Amino acid sequence: MAGLLAGLTGCGGVRLQDGSYVIAGKGYRVGAPDGWMRIESEADLALRRADRPAGLMAHATCEGKPPARPLPVLVRHLRFGLRDVQDLGEAPVTFGGLPGTAHHFRATLDGVPVAVRAVTLRGLGCVYDLVGVAPPDGLAALAPDFERFSAGFALSGTAR
């Protein structure tokens, strides 16, 4: 699971403010669910719980111009490195005024089964990924925290 939360180029400037994590360098924020703590990661923000094996991650890839790839292709990049992917659902969403796709699936990562809930959003110059990872039997317990985390997404200040 840690491998899915790591491996992305991150940026500094993350702060907790008014119930949200603000990622100032990339101009967005996400909700801060109770009971989660920040961990080191190359993603913009990675969180975990001490009481269960689960993780939340937020990351934006910003190239300064509108993403050329269609949203379905952008969604699939979260599956790189995973095996035995089983789709469980996908639906269009809008968060912070940006169009996106909510998706959840099961897979194996380094031989370990995982369940993933994710939202991929397309901005003017960035692609935003909000991801929750848990063991397959822990996805239901992760759902309320993932909802708070992703529903708190908003563009701010220098947003792209």
pLDDT per residue over 89-102, tens digit each?
Answer: 899 999 999 999 99
Domain ranges of the chain: 2-155
- C-alpha dihedral sign at 22, 19, 104, 111: positive
User: What's the mean per-residue pLDDT of the chain?
Assistant: 86
Q: Is the pLDDT of residue 106 over 70?
A: yes
Question: Over the stretch 13-23, which tens digit does the pLDDT of each residue have?
Answer: 899 999 999 99
∠ at Cα 146 (50, 153), nearest 5°?
120
CATH of domain 2-155: 3.40.1000.10
Question: Over the stretch 36-72, which tens digit does the pLDDT of each residue have?
Answer: 999 999 999 999 998 989 999 999 999 877 777 877 7
**What percent of the chain is modeled with pLDDT above 70?**
90
Strands 28-31 and 126-134: unpaired
Question: Over the stretch 136-157, which tens digit does the pLDDT of each residue have?
Answer: 999 899 999 999 999 999 998 6
∠ at Cα 130 (30, 5), nearest 5°?
110
Q: Is the pLDDT of residue 76 over 90?
A: no
Q: Rounded to 5, what percent of the chain is helix, strand, coil?
A: 20, 45, 35
Q: Is the pLDDT of residue 6 over 60?
A: no
From 159, 157, 160, 147, select the one nearest 32 (Cα to Cα): 147
Q: What is the mean pLDDT of residues 105-117?
A: 93
Q: Is the pLDDT of residue 5 over 80?
A: no
pLDDT at 57: 96
pLDDT at 64: 76
Q: What is the mean pLDDT of residues 105-131?
A: 93
Q: Is the pLDDT of residue 35 over 80?
A: yes
118 φ/ψ angles, rounded to the nearest 5 degrees: -150, 155
